[in-house]
Copies of this chain bind each other. A is one copy, B any other.
Amino acid sequence: MRETLLIEQSKQGRKAYCFPPLDLPKGFQQALPPLPESIRREQPARLPEVSELDVVRHFTRLSTMAHGVDNGMYPLGSCTMKYNPKLSEHIAKMDAFTKIHPLQDVSTTQGSLSIMFNLLEDLSSITGMKWGTLQPCAGAHGEYTGLKMVKSYYEKRGETGRTKILIPSSAHGTNPASAMVNGFAVVSIGSNEKGQVDLEDLEAKLDDSVAAVMMTNPNTLGIFEQNILLISKMVHAHGALMYYDGANMNAILGMATPGEMGFDVVHLNLHKTFATPHGGGGPGSGPVMVNNTLRPFLPKPDILLTDSGYVLDWDGEDSIGKVSMFWGNFLVLLRAYVYILRMGSEGLRSASAHAVLNANYVAKRLCDVCEIPYGEQCMHEFVISLEEYRQNNGVRAQDIAKALIDKGYHPPTMYFPSLVSEALMIEPTESESLETLDAFILAFRSILAQAKEDPEYVKGAPYTTPVGRLDEVKAIKEPNLRY
């Protein structure tokens, strides 16, 4: 099955949509001058001219060439592809939320403001932090915001020499990139044999040029940093701050908080941990939570509860200012709020417990056929190395991943973190049942077996998709990025 571009289906004069006729007085319409020629556009843009049914069929067919959590297991490590509740989708379509303008008088938006206010309170409890902002639109945007606050904090203190961010080498790419866009230099910290932060290396690199240490805990190997309290103490002792990347928060909900671990600033990914849909890449939401120290630097406006209801507070001279156009991705916040209401305190804790249970179960069931470099005991995800398959059979991690597609599974995250060679990072999430996990394990093992018996077959996968593996070099050498 293939679907042509809609523009290729275009036919002059065909229409999928009509507007009501303009019903202003004739005289006015005739008298109304056009835009001055100097600023007037004359050339049309090439957009499809098709029927409504063409539009419907086009996107319906495209949807059949996509795979989401609703279609099958999606064990994409570090992305937490859990089930996105239908209730949240229903609520996010309510007119009372979709048809509210962000600049209406706050007396008319108390509903939306109360959801934001209460969501922030819940996220505070969950992270063990005191304050926060919902403005950032994604995880990386949260990092940007959090580090910007760190920057402002030191500027305010006059400690302008704090120009470095220490980041474990296994960190997500957004961490160093976010540090960079905020004008920090990035210094990498090594890992020890347990896959955790190398304390000696950390100690060696900690000095008064360090602004913050940015960590994910559990880290990207799915391993909990057991020395975290010690690390926080070391970092704070050097006057630096602790930044928590919430990408892996789904491992510890209700079990532990970044606040108790000593972190000063935390970003969350509502589209991971709080079950809002990923939408094919977004919109997400990346709230940032902080303790008292950083509160003055939070973006504007803050939401306050006053005697006359919720208000937007624009005061706060130390605020870093706005980080997005309005108040954040409200409809994503709404979905996350619905999820938290559903789960409640015990439900969130249970979600993490079962996410960890699932990961450990799969790891255990795979550990005899592939290497798990840092041991199979993990938190909510784990990383395997297929190096032996590469060396013995010429089959790479990518080949195994592609073969999973033919079995109906979305592949795990490939080649990350880079300290594991031929890595696949598997995160089942708590949404998957024992039966689904067993079926996945069976499929995975059968592919590994086939990789030994018939490596060429595996290297040619996938076979069941509309296209096979694509020529990525050609995509760059002969770029075709638009019709």
Contacts and interface: CB of A to CB of B under 8 A. Distances in A.
Interface in A16-71: 51-54, 56-57, 60-61, 64, 69-71
B9 A53 contact: no
Contact of A11 (B1, B14, B433): B433
A54 B86 contact: no
A102 interface: no
Contacts of A9: 435
A282 to B, nearest CB: 22
Nearest to A72: B57
Given A11-B433, A433-B11, A60 B70 contact: yes
A184 interface: no
Nearest to A71: B60
Contacts of A61: 71
A99 to B, nearest CB: 14
B71 A14 contact: no
Interface in A56-102: 56-57, 60-61, 64, 69-72, 83, 85-86
Given A60-B71, A64-B64, A71-B60, A83 B431 contact: no
B51 A433 contact: yes
A83 B53 contact: yes
A481 B267 CA distance: 54
A51 B85 CA distance: 12
Contacts of A14: 433
Contacts of A53: 69, 83, 431-433
Can you tell how many copies of this chain the complex includes?
2
A350 B11 CA distance: 19
Given A57-B70, A57-B71, A57-B72, A52 B83 contact: yes
A354 B311 CA distance: 57
A65 to B, nearest CB: 11
Contacts of A85: 52
Contacts of A433: 11, 14, 51, 53-54
Contacts of A432: 53
Nearest to A60: B70
A54 B431 CA distance: 9
Contacts of A431: 51, 53
Contacts of A1: 408
Contacts of A60: 70-71
A8 B180 CA distance: 53
A165 B456 CA distance: 71
Contacts of A52: 83, 85-86
Given A11-B433, A435-B11, A70 B56 contact: yes
Interface string A421-432: 000000000011
Contacts of A64: 64, 71
A6 B9 CA distance: 40
A60 B433 CA distance: 17
A290 B432 CA distance: 58
A435 B85 CA distance: 40
A54 B72 CA distance: 10
12 contacts: A1-B408, A9-B435, A11-B433, A11-B434, A14-B433, A51-B431, A51-B433, A53-B431, A56-B70, A57-B70, A60-B70, A60-B71
Shortest 5 CB-CB distances between A and B: which pairs?
A53-B83, A60-B70, A53-B431, A56-B70, A51-B433
Interface of A: 1, 9, 11, 14, 51-54, 56-57, 60-61, 64, 69-72, 83, 85-86, 408, 431-435
Given A60-B70, A61-B71, A64-B64, 4 more contacts: A11-B435, A53-B83, A53-B433, A54-B433
